Structure 1
Amino acid sequence: MKQSLSAPFTLVRQRGLSLIELMIALVIGLIFSLAVLLVQASLTRENVRMSDVTLRDNQARTALDLITRDLSNAGFMLGGVQSRCNIMLAYNSSLPAQQFFAQYPVSAASQPLALPTSTSPLPTNTPDPNAYGNATQQFTDMLFFTGTDTAIQVPSNGNPPTYVVQNSTAQASTGQGAINSSTLPLGSTAGIQPGDTALLRMPLNGKLVCFRVPIADVGPSTSPPSTYIDSKSTNLFPSTGYSAFEGQLQTAGILPAGGILTNANFVQARLTDLGASTATTRRTIVYYIGTYTDASGGSYPILVRAILNSQTDELISANPIAAGVVSLQALFGVDETNSGGVTNYLTWPDVLNGNYTGAVRSVLFALVTKTLHGDPKYNAPAKITIPSPAGAGNDKFTSYTVPASYAQDRFSLIESEVAVRNQLWPH
């Protein structure tokens, strides 16, 4: 019997994946993971864009609420507790722009226009209206709303002290005539202190003309026996006296062309003491567009709300309120025929040219806003057309031309019209 010398053949079963199978599985897994990451990144970018659009819209509507509130208060108690001024004239030799100007309940100026300086420190990155972007600069307005934030401007008894101007014609020979100096004779100066700001109300040709009068000195006069206030040592009043304002009165249509003031115009005029010039009850709200730079070095346009002290023209604060605003424009609804409603819409220069500053009944303003994050799949239109009111004549909103750097940003437009209630009530 023969015995086999070889062992029986045994099949060894392989467990797990081969190297090739493992590599194929890894490749498939990587492709799947990459697809998930790409989808997630796409969704994240879309969420960022949607959040950007939503945030810009919310901020623009917040700005709309603020502008509406400030506009509804424009002119509030601007003339104190007495009759509202038809025009309020002011002066400031430290301002880089025109030194003689008028403070209106509502007004506008084409940006850029420098703001006055501030005595208190402001954040170092406070946007400057003069620095709003040469490359992206489009037509935009700066809106000004002037009024008071309280009906009790100075004293607790509710009525600011008022003083009567004495015979300034007789005072002219002693150098105290108001026309050729900044000295104003009064029947009494009890309670007036140097550093106060006052409002002089003068009836002139059927209008009530008001002047901002800083009090630099208070003292007695020689003849006739009365007292006087002196304003010539302050930069807030011209050293040449009230005659310096004649050009503004002619432009406003209150004086005829070539018309002049006389010392007799001041007799029986009323001077209302508004209190210390550092008080902020009379203030001007300014809306403008600036360029904001964040901590990472990025920059973008932003709507700013600044507060000025209307008694000293000092800048109190400047706070960004809506990022992405690229244009702010305003048309003023005026009542040209005293019909009780808006008969035309004019730009502010045409309001001045037509002497309609006292006939402004509403302000129609438009905000053009862009997103801060571009969408590479989106192409913005070449222009953003801002609808103008029907029958607005030649005064219309200016279309916003989209610069190349904003070509993939999304834009939105908000328009609103608000009545200037403190212009309406006296009528």
Structure 2
Amino acid sequence: MHATPARLTLPRQRGLTLVELMVALVAAIIFSLSVLLVQIALTKENVQMSDVSQRDNQSRAALDLITQDLSNSGFMLGGVQSRCSVTLAYNSSLTNPAFFQYPVSAASQPLPLPTSTAVGSSTYPSTTPDPNGYGSNAQFTDLLFFTGTTSALQLPSNGNPSTYVVQQASTTTAPGANGAISSTVLPLQTVTGINAGDGALLRMPLNGKLVCFRVPIANVNPSNPPTIASKSTQLFPGSGYTGFQTQMQAAGVWPTSGLVNSNLIGSRLTDLGPAATTVEQTVVYYVGTYGTAGTATGSYPMLMRAVINAQNDTLTSINPVAAGVVSLQALFGVDETNSGGVTNYLTWPDVVKGNYTADVRSVLFAIVTKTLQTDPKYTVPSVGSVPTITIASPSTGPDSFTNYTVPNGTGGLPDYTHNRFSVLESEVAIRNQIWPH
């Protein structure tokens, strides 16, 4: 008999039902979305933190650059001669053609750059920020001016500046109905070495101060007496030195009887060389709107640095310095009692009003910077009902910084209420005021 083999029983296989598969798929999607959302949130937070860090680093770098430029203000301005109490300059292409040229100064935005080369020209395209383009927030911003030389190359190889003594002028020794004071012709003891096209600095003692005039040399006449002429140029008033009467009165150096030819006795003229190659420059810091609205990058405030030739007011360069800067302000530490230290902090208009331009010892800066990225979870704190960034002011002096009012999207202004802000302050001593040459 043959045994009947036992029947093999296979295990019953059971797969996922459609419902179970759908549940697993939904759970996986939810988990993936959760991880993705966390990653997006972390990435956004990292971007915001990086933005804050970059804005802070750029602002600190801007302070270093401002400090460097400030250290050159007044340096070798006019050679190794005594420092000018005030320098008077002129440019007929400007709205206010007669102006002061200080080692350090400031003006409120908006204000066009003091240059005969228009921003928006072929040299500097329309995308180059202009101080006027910053808009309503310019009321919280200063234009800062530092004038000096980048080196001592304006001195000849023998180490002495090219200085010429001015003769006493009268109608018998100089062309023009009223002599050199009312004309644009200046008689000198010699004109050897002076070339037409050079710039010069004329120093004139008045009322116990050394008043300087920026004089362009349009023509040189070696006859007797030898003379230079500044006529036929936009950089000197057609009425000659009396064209600076308003400036001199504001500076407190205008003689009671008015300028007369005898005021030129003892004056000195320093030839600064060709204006195109001058090492005298004015550095201007201001806030402009950078970029193009509606593009991928959009537009945002930017601290700008412009360089202007100090002899002929032509624009040399414009460069961005720090993104996100919305306010740049300055207070000037003055020592009006000659105590050896800062006794008051004043705005520049009050420095001029008090006739303290020769007593400035330091400049105190405040830079307000915003992030380029918004943070919906953050809202700028308000002072009262107005979103405001508070700027600390020194306790010495009657003047203070202006707190920055954050635009909230009304009145056609952007909405910065969800941006984070930082405030940096730095005070820099003016070496040429402390160690006058």
TM-score by length of 1: 0.92
Is 1:126 aligned to residue 136 of structure 2? no
Show the counterpart of 1:386: 391
Q: Deviations over 1:1-42 (max 9, x none)?
A: xxxxxxx99777234322221111110110011001100000
Show the counterpart of 1:304: 304
Is 1:213 aligned to residue 211 of structure 2? no
Asked if the contact 2:173–2:225 (Cα under 8 Å) also holds between the matched residues in 1, the reply is no
Show the counterpart of 2:149: 148
**Whole-angstrom distance in 2 between the partners of 1:86 and 1:401:** 37
Show the counterpart of 1:339: 339
Shift of 1:248: 1.1
**Whole-angstrom distance in 2 between the partners of 1:110 and 1:178:** 36
Asked if the contact 1:154–1:275 (Cα under 8 Å) also holds between the matched residues in 2, the reply is no
Shift of 1:139: 1.7
Q: Deviations over 1:43-80 (max 9, x none)?
A: 01001100000000000000010111111221111131
Show the counterpart of 1:75: 74
Shift of 1:167: 2.3
SS at the partner of 1:200?
strand
Residue 423 of structure 1, aligned match among 413, 433, 436: 433
Residue 183 of structure 1, aligned match among 172, 185, 190: 185
1:223-302 aligned at under 5 Å gives the runs 225-255=224-254, 259-293=257-291, 296=296, 298-302=298-302
Is 1:108 aligned to residue 110 of structure 2? no
Shift of 1:187: 1.3
- Residue identity (%): 65
Q: Deviations over 1:70-129 (max 9, x none)?
A: 112211111311111111100000113x11111111100001110114388235421110
Residue 197 of structure 2, aligned match among 173, 191, 195: 195
Asked if the contact 1:282–1:310 (Cα under 8 Å) also holds between the matched residues in 2, the reply is yes
Shift of 1:158: 2.4
Show the counterpart of 1:406: 416
Asked if the contact 1:138–1:400 (Cα under 8 Å) also holds between the matched residues in 2, the reply is no
Show the counterpart of 1:162: 163
**Amino acid of the structure 2 residue aligned with 1:110:** S
**Amino acid of the structure 2 residue aligned with 1:388:** S
Shift of 1:155: 2.6
Gaps of 5+ in 2: 1-6, 382-386, 409-414
Asked if the contact 2:109–2:138 (Cα under 8 Å) also holds between the matched residues in 1, the reply is no
SS at the partner of 2:202?
strand
Gaps of 5+ in 1: 1-7
* 26 and 363 in structure 1: CA distance in 2 versus 1, 3 angstrom threshold: same
Asked if the contact 2:391–2:402 (Cα under 8 Å) also holds between the matched residues in 1, the reply is yes
SS at the partner of 1:363?
strand
1:38-117 aligned at under 5 Å gives the runs 38-96=37-95, 98-115=96-113, 116-117=115-116
Asked if the contact 1:152–1:159 (Cα under 8 Å) also holds between the matched residues in 2, the reply is no
**Whole-angstrom distance in 2 between the partners of 1:296 and 1:309:** 35
Aligned residue pairs total 413
Is 1:27 aligned to residue 26 of structure 2? yes
Asked if the contact 2:110–2:132 (Cα under 8 Å) also holds between the matched residues in 1, the reply is yes
**Amino acid of the structure 2 residue aligned with 1:315:** L
Asked if the contact 2:302–2:326 (Cα under 8 Å) also holds between the matched residues in 1, the reply is yes
Q: Deviations over 1:322-349 (max 9, x none)?
A: 0011111111110011111111111101
**Amino acid of the structure 2 residue aligned with 1:192:** I
Is 1:320 aligned to residue 316 of structure 2? no
**Whole-angstrom distance in 1 between the partners of 2:307 and 2:29:** 58
Asked if the contact 2:272–2:278 (Cα under 8 Å) also holds between the matched residues in 1, the reply is no
Asked if the contact 1:176–1:184 (Cα under 8 Å) also holds between the matched residues in 2, the reply is no
